[in-house]
């Protein structure tokens, strides 16, 4: 009985070996046929068609990956071009003034989006607390904290009754004083209060820093008038102004060092 089982096992092993050899031969033959330029039999055509479809699928996937990589690289190039243009624009504004320092925004936290940003310049660059921070489009804010290689900038969008900014509205009838102390994030507009002058204030009148607290900052552009409202029974006016700064897209800034 055991002898019979051993015989059957040996036969099974031989059959398996024969089948494997035949499969290898067929695979080698089919591969050779694919590489030969001639008329194909029906089975050969089917096999070649399936092979071509597999190759096409693999190639198409590879191209999709390449396209994705190309899109990523293109986006990065566009960002760098924009960054470069912003820097050129900034440098053009300040290249002839020694008291200006160009810095890069290195942190703009979502939690404090309208409050502050961090910039890559510090007291090693001569930066001090209270220095004005601008761009070619106008006032951005004021330096609130300084370390050796970076500083924190309080944005003017964080303006309030505790962080007021003294401004001047330049009208056709003369300058009008006021206090910038509110920002509306929904409209993107600032409010100037305590305007008591009788001068006519018109749309698009320029609004600048008064320089009352520091003459070095006098005349720095803040924004333009959008509209005005009369308050306190006609005794004063509230003026709405619009900044040209895009506070959602700050890349480079200029820190105005206080004149000695």
Query: What is the per-residue pLDDT for 182?
Result: 93
What percentage of residues in the chain have a pLDDT greater than 70?
60
pLDDT in tens, 182-233: 999 889 999 999 898 888 899 999 999 988 877 778 888 999 999 988 876 6
**What residue segments make up the domains of the chain, in order of their start?**
99-260
Query: What is the per-residue pLDDT for 5?
Result: 47
Q: Is the pLDDT of residue 128 over 90?
A: yes
pLDDT in tens, 136-147: 889 999 999 999
**DSSP assignments along 35-85, one per residue:** HS-SPPPHHHHHHHHHHHHHHHHHHHHHHHHHHHHHHHHHHHHHHHHHHHH
In this prediction, residue 160 has a pLDDT band, given cuts at 50, 70 and 90, of confident
Least confident of 147-151, 229-233, 234-238: 229-233
Report the CATH number of the 99-260 domain: 2.40.10.340
Dihedral, CA of residue 86, residue 88, residue 93 and residue 98, to nearest 10 = 120
Query: What is the per-residue pLDDT for 4?
Result: 45
Q: Is the pLDDT of residue 120 over 80?
A: yes
Q: Which two tokens stand for residue 83?
A: 């960054």
Q: Is the pLDDT of residue 255 over 70?
A: yes
- Tell me how far apart the alpha carbons of residues 3 and 156 are, in angstroms, rounded to a whole number: 98
Q: Are 254 and 102 in contact (CB under 8 A)?
A: yes
Query: What is the per-residue pLDDT for 165?
Result: 92
Cα four-point dihedral sign 156, 157, 163, 165: positive
* Mean pLDDT, residues 125-138 taken together: 91
Better-predicted residue by pLDDT, 236 or 120: 120
Query: What is the per-residue pLDDT for 72?
Result: 47
Q: Which two tokens stand for residue 15?
A: 């059959």
């Amino acid at each position: 009985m055991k002898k019979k089982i051993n015989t059957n096992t040996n036969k099974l092993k031989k059959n398996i070996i024969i089948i494997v050899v035949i499969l290898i031969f067929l695979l080698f033959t089919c591969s050779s046929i694919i590489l030969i330029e001639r008329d194909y039999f029906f089975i050969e055509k089917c096999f070649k068609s399936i092979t071509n479809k597999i190759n096409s699928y693999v190639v198409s996937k590879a191209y999709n990956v390449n396209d994705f990589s190309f899109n990523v690289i293109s986006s990065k190039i566009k960002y760098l071009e924009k960054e470069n243009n912003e820097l050129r624009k900034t440098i053009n504004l300040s290249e002839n003034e020694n008291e200006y320092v160009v810095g890069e925004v290195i942190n703009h936290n979502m939690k404090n989006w309208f409050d502050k940003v961090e910039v890559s310049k510090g007291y090693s660059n001569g930066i001090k607390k209270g220095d004005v921070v601008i761009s070619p489009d106008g006032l951005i804010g004021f330096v609130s904290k300084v370390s050796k290689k970076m500083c924190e900038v309080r944005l003017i969008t964080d303006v309030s009754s505790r962080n007021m900014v003294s401004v001047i509205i330049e009208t056709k009838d003369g300058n009008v004083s006021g206090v910038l102390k509110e920002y509306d994030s929904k409209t993107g507009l600032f409010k100037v209060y305590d305007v008591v002058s009788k001068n006519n204030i018109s749309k698009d009148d320029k609004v600048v820093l008064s320089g009352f607290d520091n003459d070095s900052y006098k005349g720095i552009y803040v924004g333009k008038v959008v509209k005005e409202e009369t308050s306190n029974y006609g005794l004063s006016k509230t003026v709405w102004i619009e900044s040209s700064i895009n506070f959602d897209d700050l890349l480079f800034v200029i820190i105005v060092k206080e004149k000695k």
